[in-house]
Amino acid sequence: MFHRDQEGTYTAAADRLELRPDRSTRTRKMPEDAAGDYVEVPEPLERRTFTFRADLDSLHLHESGGHALVLLRDS
């Protein structure tokens, strides 16, 4: 499990989404490598810009550099 928890602001216009975190932490838990686990480690506060596409069940985010993230609606 990898979890990122962020708070901040965003701007959305047309198909662009910019995230500006004020607080960001990450947590990792992996039973196969418990020695490498960590909880709520602070992360750099970096602005991220995505193009996006949304439909009824998902949100597709594409970051420059080829990274993609698909968020699915939890039923």
> Could you report the per-residue pLDDT of 57-67, keeping only the tens digit for each?
998 999 987 78
- The per-residue pLDDT for 50 is 92
Cα 29 from chain centroid (whole Å) = 17
Contacts 24+ apart (CB under 8 A), 8-13: 8/45, 12/52
Token output for 21: 């975190």
> Could you report the per-residue pLDDT of 41-60, keeping only the tens digit for each?
999 999 989 999 988 999 89
From residue 17, give the alpha-carbon distance in Å to each of 27, 29, 58.
24, 29, 15
Asked if 45 and 33 count as a contact pair (C-beta separation under 8 A), the reply is no
